[in-house]
Amino acid sequence: AQSVTQLDSQVPVFEEAPVELRCNYSSSVSVYLFWYVQYPNQGLQLLLKYLSGSTLVKGINGFEAEFNKSQTSFHLRKPSVHISDTAEYFCAVILRGDSSYKLIFGSGTRLLVRP
């Protein structure tokens, strides 16, 4: 069975500090990898995705993530966070070969940026 694990339910960090949100996946088949952000009372917005090629992926709002196949990880990083980055972040996968291309989500990590 496939699963996505986000070990940290909440990550508090001070403004302008770096942050890493962790994501690990388990799957018997290859996957495509995604990070979505959800601001309060809003839907999900795509931050970045890894489909193939370079393992370092850059996304919107200064975020980046690195795909590590040997560790089955796709951690999200930002070198300097802003108050406005406070939101819930979801890691997700799509299984290659899944004809419905549905997203399988992790449980989410709440990023709390403090002044």
Partner 1 sequence: GAGVSQSPSNKVTEKGKDVELRCDPISGHTALYWYRQSLGQGLEFLIYFQGNSAPDKSGLPSDRFSAERTGGSVSTLTIQRTQQEDSAVYLCASSVRGTSTDTQYFGPGTRLTVL
Residue 95 in tokens = 């299984």
43 near partner 1 (CB under 8 A)? yes
Binding to partner 1, residues 57-86 (CB under 8 A): none
Q: Give the nearest distance from C-beta 97 to partner 1 in angstroms.
A: 9
State the Cα–Cα distance between residues 64 and 50, nearest whole angstrom.
10
Go through 28-59 and write b for each residue having 16 or more CB atoms within 10 A of its CB, e for each that does not.
eeebbbbbbbeeeeeebeebbbbeeeeeebeb
| Cβ distance to partner 1 smaller for residue 26 or 45 | 45
> Do residues 79 and 19 lie in contact, with contact meaning Cβ atoms separated by under 8 Å?
no
- Sole binder of partner 1 in the list 19, 35, 108, 111 (CB under 8 A): 108
Binding region for partner 1 (CB under 8 A) out of 12-20, 21-29, 69-77, 94-102: 94-102
**Which residue ranges make up the site for partner 1 (CB under 8 A)?**
32, 36, 41-46, 49, 51, 90, 92, 94, 96, 98-108
